[in-house]
Structure 1
């Protein structure tokens, strides 16, 4: 994992506004969300490992599953996951395919390849422009 300092840190927005801005450019809310925090993920590469830009967010006013929730953004980071090879290749009968359809990563925090770091930082700059350009920033609710 490589953290990247950003002016996005600690800024607050309506979650729905973030989704409307980020989904069209390829970001999705990652599977690791809870009632008080979550992540926007952008997959840069998924050939040998899963390389992504991850933008954490935390509920600032309300819970994530409530309408109008305002979230505070965390520090974006670059993340690499390496998945187990051969999970989909063995054609073994699985009695619970809906439950067992996703393989656990071999390494949830693999070394991020150096040749992708600048690309990841460019994606974060684009993310900053998209979010900070026209979106309403909410005053912090500390």
Structure 2
């Protein structure tokens, strides 16, 4: 499930600031990063099922591991985990309303924090 119109995809932010904001909201910098891409995951567990709210980005300047790296955010995704295959984001997936609502709340808070920081920092 894609979360369109969150305004997150309009932001470019220093990787260290972005990581700090996302971790304060409970996201984890997932192990799927490389020099050019970064992924922040928020894990939901409900009735023996696992869901992930995923915020991804890519380096537009520098590298992910660099303190000067700048990250362009992408459209956030919500996916369901299937063992052993991984996370599915397909339109055919059904997500509990409580998880969708919590995801929207987290994304709104992230956008507010990123917008606030962006006003005071010249990239």
Give TM-score scaled by structure 2 length: 0.79
Whether 2:102 is the aligned partner of 1:119: answer yes
Q: Provide closer, same or farther for how the CA distance between residues 82 and 48 of structure 1 changes in structure 2, counting only shifts above 3 A.
A: farther
Cα deviation code 1:6-48 (max 9, x no counterpart): 2111311100011122212211111211211121111133652
Please give the residue correspondences for 1:54-93 in structure 2 after superposition, counting only pairs within 5 Å: 54-83=54-83
Higher helix share: 2
Structure 1, unaligned stretches of length 5 or more? 84-104
- Give yes or no for contact 1:27–1:42 (8 Å, CA) kept in 2: yes
Within 2, Cα distance between the matches of 1:112 and 1:130?
A: 29
CA RMSD between the two structures: 2.1
Structure 2, unaligned stretches of length 5 or more? none
Which moved further from structure 2: 120-129 or 41-50? 41-50
Give TM-score scaled by structure 1 length: 0.70
Secondary structure of residue in 2 paired with 1:108: strand
User: Paired residues, what number?
Assistant: 117
Cα deviation code 1:98-140 (max 9, x no counterpart): xxxxxxx3342062414232222122112212221234363xx
Q: Provide closer, same or farther for how the CA distance between residues 137 and 71 of structure 1 changes in structure 2, counting only shifts above 3 A.
A: farther
> Which structure has the greater CA radius of gyration?
1
Hey, which bits of structure 1, 4+ residues long, moved more than 6 A? Answer: none
